[in-house]
Structure 1
Amino acid sequence: MTVQDTSTEEFTRQWEQWHAAHERALADPHGFLAVTGLHWLTGEPTRYPDAPGAWSSTEQGIAVHLDEGEELVVDGTAVHGHHLFGVLDERASLYAAVGDGSLVEIAKRGGHDILRPRHPDNELRVRFTHTPAYAPDPRWSLTGRYLPFDAPRATTVGAAVEGLQHVYDAPGEVEFDLDGRTHRLTVFNGSGPGTLQALFTDATSGVTTYAANRALSIPAPDAEGRVLVDFNRATNLPCAYTDLATCPLPPAENRLPIPIEAGEKTPYERTPNR
């Protein structure tokens, strides 16, 4: 066995561990596959079939009125009657537990207050097996360059829900070379300190990969601004599995003209005649 073979085997092993963990999080009993409804709250208290209480969006924030015998648990405390969750920040989420083992997500997306109940027995979650993906290949693991802007740029993008928009502060761009050509992606802040995230489409989108978007997490740049752009770890967003998601679409400049034959493919849940 050559050194190169050993390196490839280790690369594959690490990818398989990463993807298995990603799949477990997706299929969590209260993960996104458990969402049963996307409810847009208004000033009129409204009941929904998959959550207790009558919900409304008020000047004081999201409110619920629970009838006698109804209960939610918020931060470990049982609440009854009228409860005010308050005004949420954009992209914030709160969770309330229900006695049947479900959760209610209370959130703000695109300036709108929403409700997303999550039931572990949702058919989409119960039937989920795995997400197809390209075989990991070190060719798609690239060294890129982080090019920070002088100041973060407010970037408006569309959403999986028609008519909705998201606004993110883009701290810069990531540049990488592939097959003799240089490409750039506008990046947003990632989930960890200093990390970045790119939303993109490419020539495989709508063919072998989900048409609307894929996401790539990028570790924090090193002292010289180098970053790891590993397309093997390109993932689907929740909207690839369900219409009950408000996922952002990529900025227009992140539509790569080349096929990125790496990372996750179109979920089986979106594949006709599976």
Structure 2
Amino acid sequence: MTSDAFDEWKKWHEQRVETVSAPYGPLSLTGTYWLEDFSDGRIPDTPGTWSADGDAVLLRATEEDGLTVDGRPFGGAVRLGADPGPVGAGRVAHGERRLVVLVREGAWGVRDFDPASEARRAFRGIAATPHEPRWSVPGRFTPYDEPRSVRVENADGRRRGLGLGGELAFTLDGQEFTPQVTVEADGSLWAVFGDATSGSGSHRFRFLRPAAPDTEGRTTVDFNRALLPPCAFADHFICPFPPPGNTLGIAIEAGERTLL
């Protein structure tokens, strides 16, 4: 292992710990509420009434409810689209809590992020294996002729579509693998994968985010930077399980493994 590679990995790991433990990081999520499950519009422990209204969420509240919208005390009715930005910039707040609107396959919901969450207070760190060169290998991305979608189980027990843009081929421990990957808006790749340590030496599945391939499809597959999914930090995330072909038949003892 080169000193530079280890130092870069150490910096990456420290930044990850800082990010997940931030006031509005994944540890602060205390609830995800699908509005179709609350016909009266009353979300648990949350002021106002919330209802799906076509392509938006309709929020009704009085000023006595103590909500703010765009940083100002709110009373009346407002239509809210899905929050696109960081949690801390969410439009609706109740004290320090942020009530973030989301939509998945036409279903509208609200997420409750609370910096005072029990999970954030109890957090002690991420168990991660230090950088080892053997877990970083060259890969080649081959896009599909057309983007595909496959329905997979999610961490909340529901099945949803997972968009896939191609396959990422690489060789690890003498074995060839071609997991399916998603292409992000910036061209980088995202894979949901399992391996022989899943559910025992590591979380039941993990994420990998290779850099955008070059014009010939080349990128680096670095399992030293395998990530715990958000649902490892809070039960209320809806992370997708690995799609077909993405459970690798070797023990990848690298990257983030579990919470401490």
Does the C-alpha gap of structure 1 residues 8 and 108 become closer, same or farther in structure 2, counting only changes over 3 Å?
same
Quote the RMSD (CA, aligned, Å): 2.3
Do 1:144 and 1:228's aligned partners in 2 also have CA atoms closer than 8 Å?
Answer: yes
- Per-residue CA deviation, residues 111-138 of structure 1 (Å, 9 max, x unaligned), is 3211111111111012212110112111
Task: Identify the match of residue 180 of structure 1 among 174, 182, 198.
Answer: 174
Q: Is 1:101 aligned to residue 92 of structure 2?
A: no
1:207-246 pair list within 5 angstroms: 207-211=200-204, 213-246=205-238
- Cα displacement string for residues 227-248 of structure 1 (whole angstroms, at most 9, x for unaligned residues): 1100000001111122211111
1:35 aligns with 2:29: yes
Cα deviation, residue 98, structure 1: 2.4
- Give the percent of matched residue pairs that are identical in Structure 1 and Structure 2: 36
Q: Which has the higher contact order (CA 8 A, sep 6+)?
A: 2
Output the CA distance in 2 between the equivalents of 1:46 and 1:147. 46
Q: Which residue of 1 aligns with 2:128?
A: 133
Any idea what SS the aligned residue of 1:48 has? coil
8 A contact 1:72–1:96 mirrored in 2 = no
1:271 aligns with: none
Question: In 2, distance between residues paired with 1:174 and 1:89?
Answer: 31
Question: Aligned pair 1:48/2:59, yes or no?
Answer: no
Query: 8 Å contact 1:109–1:246 — kept in the other structure?
Result: no
Equivalent residues of 2:206, 2:226 under 8 A apart: yes
Number of corresponding residues: 257
Deviation per CA, 1:74-114: give whole Å up to 9, x if none: 3445432222214x599x98823425211111111343211
**CA distance in structure 2 between the partners assigned to 1:21 and 1:50 by the alignment:** 32
C-alpha contact (below 8 Å) 1:141/1:232 kept by paired residues: yes
**Alignment correspondent of 1:4:** none
Rounded Cα–Cα distance in structure 2 between residues aligned with 1:48 and 1:151? 40
Structure 2 vs 1, CA of residues 171 and 89 (structure 1 numbering), >3 Å: closer, same or farther? farther
The amino acid across from 2:182 in the alignment is F
After superposition, give the CA deviation of every residue in 1:244-274 in whole Å (9 maximum; x if it has no partner): 1111111021011111111111223xxxxxx
Q: Which residue of 2 aligns with 1:61?
A: 56
Q: Kindly report which structure 2 residues correspond to 1:136-175, keeping only aligned pairs within 5 A, or say none.
A: 136-162=131-157, 164-175=158-169
| Partner AA of 1:203 in structure 2 | A
8 A Cα contact 1:132 1:266, kept in partner: yes
Offset at residue 73 of structure 1 (A): 3.3
The AA in structure 1 aligned to 2:177 is H
Structure 2's unaligned 5+ residue stretches are none
Q: CA deviation at 1:8?
A: 1.7
1:51/1:96 Cα in 2 relative to 1: closer, same or farther (>3 Å)?
Answer: farther
Q: Residues of 1 paired with 2:201 and 2:173: CA distance?
A: 21
Using the size of structure 1 for normalisation, the TM-score is: 0.86
Structure 2 residue matching 1:219: 3-state secondary structure: coil
Distance 1:203 1:59 in 2: 44
Match of 1:255 in 2: 247
**Letter aligned with residue 48 of structure 2:** G
Could you give the per-residue CA deviations for residues 161-206 of structure 1, whole angstroms, max 9, x where no partner exists?
Answer: 11x223233111100011222111100023x511010100000101
Deviation at 1:49, TM superposition (A): 4.1
**Separation in 1 of the partners of 2:145 and 2:83?**
26
Q: Secondary structure at the match of 2:256?
A: coil
From 14, 17, 25, the equivalent of 1:20 is: 14
Equivalent AA in structure 1 for residue 90 of structure 2: Y
What's the TM-score, normalizing by structure 2? Answer: 0.90
Are the counterparts in 1 of residues 96 and 115 from structure 2 also a CA contact under 8 Å?
A: yes
**Partners of 2:106 and 2:83 in 1: CA distance:** 9
For structure 1, list consecutive stretches of 5 or more residues without a partner in the other structure: 1-6, 269-274
